[in-house]
Amino acid sequence: MSAFKEQAAETILGAIVAFVAIGFLVFAVTRAGAGEATGGYPLVARFNRVDGVNVGADVRLSGVKVGTVSAVGIDPTTYLAKLTLSVDRTVKLPDDSSARVASDGLLGGAYVALEPGGSAEMLASGGEIANTTGTVDLLSLLAAAAGGAGKSQEQEAQP
């Protein structure tokens, strides 16, 4: 009898673990926005730099997620980074809207922030966002600031 009770307890515990794992999987799929890419319309944006932006990254408007990045590549004629964005069909953007690569803090992930323009014409499916701002290379910026600070101190020291 003891072995039977032990096996029954192990079976019940295994079933509970399986249900919890399935629950986590369902939660992860729904939170990741798995169906958003298919339900949105595509927009294209070209940037000088897109450090940290990957397929699946958020596309936000006023801080609210309205889509995802569906493709990342290089434009072979301009050598700019080309992002294809999948934007929720309920969100209509003026054709003079802008896009910039933003970050969730120092260690946060990168996302694309959309800023609507004031035009009466709306971007069509497959349209291009012409006004873009890519990421800033912080190391180069700090090196330039440190180099500039050193020069100004040397210049002040000279008579």
Where do the structural domains in the chain lie, given as residue ranges? 1-31, 36-136
Q: Name which of 10-14, 19-23, 144-148 the model is least confident about.
A: 144-148
pLDDT single digits (tens) 30-83: 666 544 445 789 999 999 989 889 999 999 999 999 999 999 999 999 999 999
Burial (Cβ within 10 Å: 0-12, 13-18, ≥19) of residue 111: buried
Alpha-carbon distance of 111 to 103, in angstroms, equals: 6
- Residue 100 structure tokens: 């910039």
pLDDT single digits (tens) 86-128: 999 999 999 999 999 998 877 778 999 999 999 999 999 999 9
Q: What is the pTM of this model?
A: 0.65
Is the CB of residue 39 less than 8 Å from the CB of residue 89? yes
Is the CB of residue 69 less than 8 Å from the CB of residue 56? yes
